[in-house]
Amino acid sequence: MRELIANIIKLEWGMFDKVNNKGGRADCQNNKQTFIAMRASQFEAWNQEVLQSYLNDLLEAEASGRNLLTEKYAYMMEFTSPGEFSAIKDVLPEISEEKENLIEEISRIKMEWTEDMHARYPLAASQGRPLYSSEDGPNVVSIETYMVGELKTYSTNTLALLLNMIKGIKKEGKNLPVMILNNTACKYGYKSVDELEEKLRERVINK
């Protein structure tokens, strides 16, 4: 699993590093360690089937000269910059009805989980992003839009496996975004997301 995740992140970083932004290179493109920590936190919550399928997506994209990270940010523009998106949408891979349905179901479950996470961990979960695409703007990307943009770059096989994994997690009464946030907290030296939330609360009280 560890090697699988490392290979995924290596490919993703190579693509992320090459993303061309309209306003020039973004600050986050110069922070490789944060990128690694955030992506590893997500992938460590996935099972091996989903990881292997997504690695295959990345390898196939690389072999055909596609940059999935560029495509992810381009898909987001449908909500953040509709005018600019209309000018580039024809060069993006078309999303099939099957993929749309899978993305819709995954998004619905993940947004329910995200709402719950924000209610339970309001400080730790705060990313400076609004929750929903309806709140997007030219310089504002919601959690929903970011998530959907990424999901659109996954293959149908990866989406189907991811949905199956998500249904299993839900059946167990767990929350995937909380699992990912907990992984992130641990990477920054906390024992758990609960400890992180408590420390952040103490800082607010002591201000």
Please answer whether residues 156 and 141 qualify as being in contact, where contact means their C-beta atoms are separated by less than 8 angstroms.
Answer: no
Q: Please report the pLDDT score of residue 134 as a whole number.
A: 84
Q: Please report the pLDDT score of residue 30 as a whole number.
A: 65
Mean pLDDT to the nearest integer, 25-29: 66
Residue 18 burial class via C-beta count within 10 angstroms: exposed 0-12, middle 13-18, buried 19 and up: exposed
Q: pLDDT digit string (tens) for 52-109?
A: 999 999 999 999 999 999 999 999 988 888 888 888 888 899 999 999 999 999 999 9
Q: pLDDT digit string (tens) for 103-157?
A: 999 999 999 999 999 999 999 998 668 888 888 777 788 999 999 999 999 999 9
**Domain segments of the chain: what residues?**
2-206
Question: Per residue in 187-203, is it b (16+ CB within 10 Å) or e — as a string?
Answer: beebeebeebbeebeee
Q: How far apart are the first and last CA of the chain?
A: 42
Question: Binning pLDDT at 50, 70 and 90, where does residue 6 land?
Answer: very high
Alpha helices of 17-155 — where are they, by DSSP H? 32-43, 48-63, 68-80, 82-88, 97-120, 143-151
The three-state secondary structure class of 9 is: helix
How far is 49 from 195, CA to CA, in rounded Å?
A: 31
Q: Is the pLDDT of residue 166 over 90?
A: yes
Q: What is the pTM of this model?
A: 0.92
For 49-85, give the DSSP string. Answer: HHHHHHHHHHHHHHHTT--HHHHHHHHHHHHH-HHHH
Q: What percent of the chain has pLDDT over 90?
A: 74
User: Which amino acid makes up residue 193?
Assistant: V
- Please state, rounded to an integer, the average pLDDT across all residues of the chain: 92
What is the DSSP code (8-state) at residue 172? T
